[in-house]
Amino acid sequence: MLIEKSVLESKRQIGEKIFQIKLRSPKIATVAKPGQFCNIKVSESDFPLLRRPFSISNVDGDSIFFVFDIHGEGTEILSQKEKGNVLDILGPLGNGFDISGDFTTAIFAAGGLGSAPFPFLAKVLGNKEIISFVGARNSSLVLQDDIPNPQIATDDGTLGYKGNVVELLSNYIVKHNLKEFRIFSCGPNPMLKALQKYSIENNFDCQISVECAMACGFGICQGCPIEASNGDGYRLVCKDGPVFNAKDVKL
């Protein structure tokens, strides 16, 4: 875990109130892994007091990419930053995706901003076959930049399959009789819960990246508990996750 003063190299709007920023952060970029996150101090003042957690979307040399939407005062402040501004970053934090072991195909399942960590994961997976399933409420909220082989689902049917991303994924697996795959997922908890149920019922290898408010980012505040499925108390999303095996936690 490192604290680094990082220069904002670029900012662009990629969707409805959705932004991508690129920060020069060589120390963190060197050790970051897909699925980890950073806590960013969005202002030099005492307001807002707490840092904001953001998934590492990609790494390019000494630079890190983050994707976020405006949903509060902190992200509103971050969206107004300009090239050359310096941000205080804490990271990399948490445990990322486990890519060890035998699997021939990686399945990405993303809901909304859950697409954020997958460009980095795709880069690290190298030559493995990747099939991506990307879901959103409507076409204006679909994030598929740098996502390999995207299959799209929208709730209102304005782009791709009309329905949710778990339905699209399950239909594809059956139709193509997929074998020896691992599911990597990130998105809102209702989507993850549905995918968790589906993967456990079918004994599929599935990892879920849990979204949660994380104040400190490294386990001191104990503010992000998630119940262990084996009855052995709770885990912390920021420290023990945010990526978990789908069988290990209750959503």
**In one letter, which amino acid is 14?**
I
Token pair belonging to 143 = 């994030």
CATH 2.40.30.10 residue spans of the chain: 2-93
Kindly state the DSSP code that residue 213 receives in the 8-state scheme. -
| pTM score, whole prediction | 0.95
The reply to whether CATH 3.40.50.80 applies to domain 105-245 is yes
Task: Indicate the class that CATH gives domain 2-93.
Answer: mainly beta
Contacts of 47 (CB under 8 A, 6+ apart): none
Would you write out the chain's pLDDT as a tens digit for each of its 251 residues? Answer: 899 999 999 999 998 899 999 999 999 999 999 999 999 998 876 556 678 899 999 999 999 999 999 988 889 999 999 999 999 999 999 999 999 999 999 999 999 999 999 999 999 998 899 999 999 999 989 999 899 999 999 999 999 999 999 999 999 999 999 999 999 999 999 999 999 999 999 999 999 999 887 778 888 888 899 999 999 999 999 999 999 999 999 99
Is the bond preceding 48 in cis, omega lying within 30 degrees of 0? yes
CA distance 244 to 251: 11
**Cβ–Cβ under 8 Å, residues 69 and 75:** yes
Stretch(es) of the chain classified as CATH 3.40.50.80 = 105-245
